[in-house]
Structure 1
């Protein structure tokens, strides 16, 4: 049964006479507490926070002196008390609430300053089970939610970033805080506790390997408000979840314009793809446009890899995203800047490369200090009308798969290396995906088509266009291998790839017509390998 309201109107300005402060992150604490004390506001605090305030030379009342009860159980129990929560939840203009406060000696709190135990930091640092659980805050969220619910009379701060704003408002309004500000702080407080609980429940689900928990919660903190979303009429923001996986959320932007929604989406796709390639084995470069690769290559150097990736589709590469699996060097940078590029993302960059990139003021350069692990577990989330589709990350890696030759002819060593390369790329191409590869570089990519035959033909046509642009007599699909992200439902898609010049094929297998497809491959002396694993990407 829903609880009904007494419809007592909230006052606009509420005087702040008494503040409750209990913070884990003590950034800016002394300065802010000093401003409150200078304004004549009584300070009440807990444990280490009270000690820090006292060390700053400020008068502070320990919460135990308010409750008449000591902190017990290693600080687990200290603020869960009627004299605390009554002071947070009381409706000051309700005669019954006021009478209860008088009867029980409850004094109101007008300002609550709380940030929570660092659960997310401990989780991300790989804390053991007991330590992680111990950093689940109980009293903090309870006080935050109580104060936020009673924002008609109480202002609640959940992070140091709001200290200056609140201090300025107090000074401007004669030690009072306006209702609109209290509302905004309450909204932020509820979002903070929601994200905090999402992190906790997500950690439990991951730790206990719960594939489909009954309730799912996700939360993040605003990293940047976007100018707009995919299109100018759409609003957007970039929220960081706290996952320490190397990528766009953990990268530092060295230079360039603000990243757009589309920049972030495409850069994430590029870096996830290039993370498939071990930098100890070879340099690798991926060029992405609209979340699809238009060229991927590996070589001894980044410069060579970039040149080979660019050659796959130089037209589409214009205005694209370039991702590298090694630190950007001057030789590669000098080539990349010759083509208009929106973003470069790499694990690092040397001084000479930074100097070259600096000449292109609008070019965004992101450095990550690492590569994403393609085998890492995690979740991907997609919104649909009225819900969320949640799945585990596609962390299947071709080196871990049991590859099976199903044709009379097996691929030779060169073909097999290219087949593995092609399947890595196909994993990151929108379905239906067809990828032609020759000598460690894509030479044709067909993405996002309703028919696999169309993807095969589009990829071949792009290879023909690239050959014309390079002044070649025939496209590099002649003698290439081809990868398909899913099985060929009919032989027609395979025949289109054979017509383009493919000599070997890698695909998941599993079609009702596998025998027909294998027979077509054998008829043309094509080697075919089944992976048993599909890589749909929608």
Structure 2
């Protein structure tokens, strides 16, 4: 069913393109009603309009809080055009149809992000009349065209020129978009109040997100996919990063980029490189320079590094870029890339370069969300770290040396990012062997030793959770491991400690577990 519009109500906070749209409507005989700043802009653009107070016969009041909340507005939008009783009521009260509603909402999200903004200003930017009109128009989309996105102005004009009005198919699609718009808006407001009042797990939870890009496919080619980002997130990472070069990102790329970004943010004091494969760090290392760190990271598992994703916590320079270019990589993610580095790496047309900006900023106060069939699980992000690892309890007879403490601090940071059951063998500067995602901890210990390309003699072990038996300690001792860091807390801790003492291994208990499922 084609509806030819006779009257449009236009009131927008995002004003790009709105004057042009109103001119196009007016040129096609559509009467324009408008409010506030939009009305001022349209008049200054030479467009004849009817101000909202003139249309309703009632002035804007209460500092603009009440202007469109009026029967002449909502009656004009909501009446069912082919319902005789509705039309009788419209005639009795002298109401006129409103056929197009072009409305987007007060800039609540932008206001919250302003430096030094007051709570009063934030509250004033909660829109009331706008969402009411949007929802009214969307509900009555059988007859009314609702536009919440300026990108749809040209679509509506083109359809009017082609058919004389808008089709039901278009109006229904725009209604779908409108309900998503108001739902996102309300979910951002709800999240603000939850944060304001310290409510971590509200009775009703909504996750606001905007589509950033479509994916060619999901984890596998038969799965459709898209990438959404959350409003108000400022923390450097995959959601705020900018792609500088390379082919389109895949679903798995984004998951791995996130894994890389989270690791490098845990190493702020010195240059670090991590190489990610299937979300696990197959090599992580520090160095005096980024180039040195990359060399060490690659040593850990050069086979798995092929086709991997590299994360760096410093600007990628020319020397590092030249070395990175020697290996086939999917993505490089870093705070920035020097001009020379970009010139080198951009010679690989498919290599994605992701710039995520300054890593020293505060972490965002968001929850970790895991999807299960029919539901979601919410939890705090695992951002735990130790300021002074030497202050942790050491239950073994032999206490760790300064070098072992440094190596354990490094290994513990890496273990947090490895899928459990996780075992890391490392020295002070690099991971040497990684055992990830096994059903038994001793298997992870064996795999970490099998994967090691350098001798393990004198290295340390990190375990993301306690040892249920002494077998992993015995396995570590066979490899020449001299110190172990783990949470402790097993009913067999005494047996585990005894094993460490038998082998002369120094041990630290953190009291913190880092399961990563």
Confirm or deny a common fold (TM above 0.5). Answer: yes
Residue of 448, 451, 459 corresponding to 1:480: 459
Map of 1:7-406 to 2, 5 A cutoff? 12-125=1-114, 127-174=117-164, 176-242=165-231, 243-278=233-268, 281-371=269-359, 376-399=364-387, 403-406=392-395
Distance 1:57 1:113, change over 3 A: same
1:472-521 superposed Cα distances (whole Å, 9 cap, x missing partner): xxx2x221111111111111122222222221111111111112111111
1:21, distance to aligned residue in structure 2 (A): 0.9
Query: 1:5: which partner in 2?
Result: none
Structure 1: distance between partners of 2:123 and 2:506: 53
Runs of 4+ in 1 over 6 A off after TM superposition: none
Structure 2: distance between partners of 1:124 and 1:425: 33
1:146-166 superposed Cα distances (whole Å, 9 cap, x missing partner): 111111011111121222222
Distance 1:311 1:20, change over 3 A: same
TM-score normalized by structure 1? 0.93
Structure 2: distance between partners of 1:249 and 1:372: 16
Larger CA deviation: 370-379 vs 198-207 = 370-379
Structure 2: distance between partners of 1:207 and 1:536: 30
Unaligned runs of 5+ in 1: 1-11, 468-474
RMSD: 1.5
Aligned length: 514
Structure 2: distance between partners of 1:403 and 1:39: 76
Residue 522, structure 1, aligned to residue 512, structure 2: no
Structure 2: distance between partners of 1:62 and 1:500: 82
Distance 1:537 1:373, change over 3 A: farther
**8 Å Cα contact 1:112-1:144 kept in structure 2:** yes
Distance 1:372 1:109, change over 3 A: farther
**8 Å Cα contact 1:374-1:395 kept in structure 2:** no
Structure 2: distance between partners of 1:165 and 1:137: 26
Residue of 452, 457, 465 corresponding to 2:441: 452
Unaligned runs of 5+ in 2: none
Structure 2: distance between partners of 1:277 and 1:362: 28
Structure 2: distance between partners of 1:486 and 1:133: 45
TM-score normalized by structure 2? 0.97
Structure 2: distance between partners of 1:129 and 1:520: 59
**8 Å Cα contact 1:456-1:496 kept in structure 2:** yes
